Amino acid sequence: MRFSRLAWMLAATLVVTGCSSRPAIPVNEKQALVMESSMLAAGITAEKPDFSLPEGRPTASSTIYNERDSAVAVHYRYYWYDEKGLEVQPLEVPKTIIVPAKGQVTVTAISSFYGARKVRLYLYL
């Protein structure tokens, strides 16, 4: 009898706790910029993307730098996430940009989903 009461109290506590938590997938700020290792070997570095909401449109921009004496073609894709940390669909199409020798390029994207609140930039060769 005593075990039965304890089991019911535990079950009720779990139900109440589960209902009060807000489901979310954390998007780590340290992972806002993801680069393949080949990027560093090619002399390419980048800044973490800046997220803003001008006129309510989710916008992100990042500057990519080339330390080498020759131009490098860089592929990139922005991934957008809502306030719960869920990835926004449809995914953006990967794009390519040429970063000039000893130069820099800023890549900017605007999400078509107004609910986007976080962004991740993925760079690869």
Q: What is the pLDDT of residues 19-61, one digit of tens each?
A: 544 555 555 666 899 999 999 999 999 999 999 999 999 999 9
Dihedral (CA of 54, 113, 84, 22) sign: positive
Q: Residue 40 is part of which domain span?
A: 27-124
Look at the pTM and tell me if it is higher than 0.85.
no
Q: How many domains does the chain have?
A: 1
In a domain, 1, yes or no: no
The pLDDT, as a whole number, for residue 31 is 81
The pLDDT, as a whole number, for residue 20 is 47
How many percent of the chain have pLDDT more than 90? 70
Computed over its alpha carbons, how large is the radius of gyration of the chain? 21
In a domain, 60, yes or no: yes
Backbone phi and psi for residue 103, each to the nearest 5 degrees, phi listed first: -125, -170
Residue 29 vs residue 109, higher pLDDT: 109
